[in-house]
Amino acid sequence: AKAEGRGTYRVFAADMDEEAEERRVLESDLRQALADNALNLYYQPQVDGASGVLVGFEALVRWTHPVRGEIPPSVFVALAEETGLIITLGDWVLREACREAATWAPSLKVAVNLSPRQFQKPDLPETVLAVLAQTGLSPDRLELEVTESVIINDMARAISILRRLKGFGVRISMDDFGTGYASLATLQAFPFDKMKIDRSFVAQLGVDPQAAVIVRAVLSLGRSLRMGVVAEGVETSAQRRFLADEACGEMQGYLFGKPRPIGDYAEMLCCPDES
Ligand code: C2E
Ligand code: CA
Ligand code: CA
Ligand code: CA
């Protein structure tokens, strides 16, 4: 039993080494991908809740590893967060998304995800301002999506950074609303323009009666706090109908379009002044 125990331990230790080694390799591959400009951005349509008219796109980062193929963002964005590479990655995403959006019809906005780590850099507002200046994108066409974790890390600093960003005219959305710890007080203290109802609630519409109660409550909260509400993960016309009946401001999900290379949506980007 003793020998077996030791053997088990050794296998376990070897697994750990292997895992750590795999992480190190993936980290260095990601670093290389960033240096080679080998990441891609996909874009997912966001539509007006009542009319279904396109209002903009959310930019979502993609990485096709040369050997391992498509790596999910849940894996490599998390790795980038842990290693600090998220700063380089986040800067690239922001610049690329703004550069792209500047070529669209002026009515279309772009939503960019910001990770909590990016908020720890006090020069975030200056970075955003520089990117807007370099790309020529009007600030009111940029929406920054942040999660509730940004708030709990360092509340005072986060508020001051968000205020400065809003001072430029940039909009701020609270992502994945309902999955974190945001209290009503924090929601009110933070200068959010929008809340995005997490897709876990939308997915349960028509399945779990509680989901309808929660979604209605979030929409009502949004109206009371004068924040827009975006429903994420809308996949069925029944979900869409429910949300439209409840006057949900904007929607996003596979029903309207999956995240794709922007070229796949080329016909939707056309500038009105060209027609
Ligand atoms: P998120 O910001 O909540 O993005 C929405 C996720 O839901 C995306 O997953 C999108 O593909 C997926 N989705 C959209 N509509 C539907 C639908 O109708 N049904 C289903 N089942 N899924 C839908 P994705 O692209 O895998 O991204 C996962 C997460 O990775 C994002 O969640 C975000 O937290 C993070 N992420 C992605 N791109 C970036 C980025 O550029 N920067 C940062 N910091 N995080 C990013
Ligand atoms: Ca998002
Ligand atoms: Ca989300
Ligand atoms: Ca999410």
pLDDT in tens, 60-107: 999 999 999 999 999 999 999 999 999 999 999 999 999 999 999 999
Which atom of ligand 1 is least distant from the CA of 90? Answer: 42
Of all ligands present, the nearest one to the C-alpha of 145 is: 2
Closest to 131 (Cα-Cα) out of 108, 114, 149: 114
Residues 89, 61 contacting (CB under 8 angstroms): yes
Distance 266 CA to ligand 3 centre (A): 24
Q: Counting atoms of ligand 1 from 1, which one is nearest the CA of 259?
A: 11
* Count of residues in the chain: 275
Q: What is the ipTM of this complex?
A: 0.97
Q: What is the pLDDT of residues 249-267, one digit of tens each?
A: 999 999 999 999 999 999 9
Residue ID of nearest Cα to ligand 1 atom 45: 113
Over residues 150-161, mean pLDDT: 82
E-strand ranges in the chain read 40-48, 54-65, 69-71, 109-113, 142-146, 171-177, 194-197, 228-231, 250-252
At 207-236, the pLDDT tens digits run: 999 999 999 999 999 999 999 999 999 999
pLDDT band at 5 (very low <50, low <70, confident <90, very high): low
The residue whose CA has the least distance to atom 35 of ligand 1 is: 73
Q: Would you call 106 exposed, middle or buried from its count of C-beta atoms within 10 A (0-12, 13-18, 19+)?
A: middle
How many alpha carbons lie under 13 Å from residue 217 in its C-beta half-sphere?
10
Q: 210 burial class (0-12, 13-18, 19+ CB within 10 angstroms)? A: exposed
Report whether pLDDT(275) > 80: no
Give Cα 88 distance to the centre of its chain: 16
User: How many A from CA of 198 to the centre of ligand 2?
Assistant: 9
Q: Which residue's alpha carbon is nearest to atom 42 within ligand 1? A: 113
- Rounded to the nearest angstrom, the distance between the alpha carbon of 176 and the centre of ligand 4 is 5
Which residue's CA lies nearest to atom 22 of ligand 1?
A: 233
Q: What residues line ligand 1, using a CB cutoff of 6 Å? A: 44, 60-61, 72-74, 77, 90, 93, 113, 115, 175-176, 199, 233-235, 253-254, 259
What is the distance in A from the centroid of ligand 2 to the CA of 42? 12
Burial 46-79 (b: 16+ CB within 10 A, else e): bbebeeeebbbbbbbbebeeeeeeebebeebbeb
Query: Among the atoms of ligand 1, which is closest to the Cα of residue 145?
Result: 2
Q: How many CB atoms lie within 10 A of CB 99?
A: 16
